[in-house]
A = this chain, B = another copy of it.
Amino acid sequence: MKDVLTTETELLVCVTCRRKGAPPDDARRPGRVLFDAITAQDRPEGLRVTPVECLQNCSQSCTVALRGGDAKWTYVFSNVDETDHAAMIVAGAAQYHAAPDGVIPWRERPEHFKRNCLARIPPVRPKES
């Protein structure tokens, strides 16, 4: 497990996400608000937060993704609230970071992750079990 935890986890946050019906020239988009709220949280060592311009899930924003090297699943999550969900996202990212294959056991998984997983992509090189 130690070697897994030395692999960095990346939490990608779409900073261009906006709400449906929001004015197109909004100076500070919900995705940017979410990014700022997430980076204001304490987070475990090895969890990096990266701003991204458009994950192309504009209809169910805000959107975040988690990846962590070749041995882990990548996840994309939708419908993230930019003010209420920052702490939940960081807590879930910490669970992902601690899971060797990135799969958080179902019963421990945040409810939002259970219900708003847009897609998942398998590891490039799954660990031999």
Question: A residues within 8 Å of B by Cβ?
Answer: 12, 52, 54-57, 63, 65, 67, 74, 76, 117-122, 124
Contact = CB atoms under 8 A, between A and B. Distances in A.
Nearest to A77: B119
Chain A residues touching B, majority SS: strand
Contacts of A65: 119, 121
- The oligomer's copy count stands at 2
A120 B52 CA distance: 11
Nearest to A50: B122
Nearest to A63: B119
A121 B67 CA distance: 10
A52 B122 contact: yes
Contacts of A120: 54-56
A76 B117 CA distance: 13
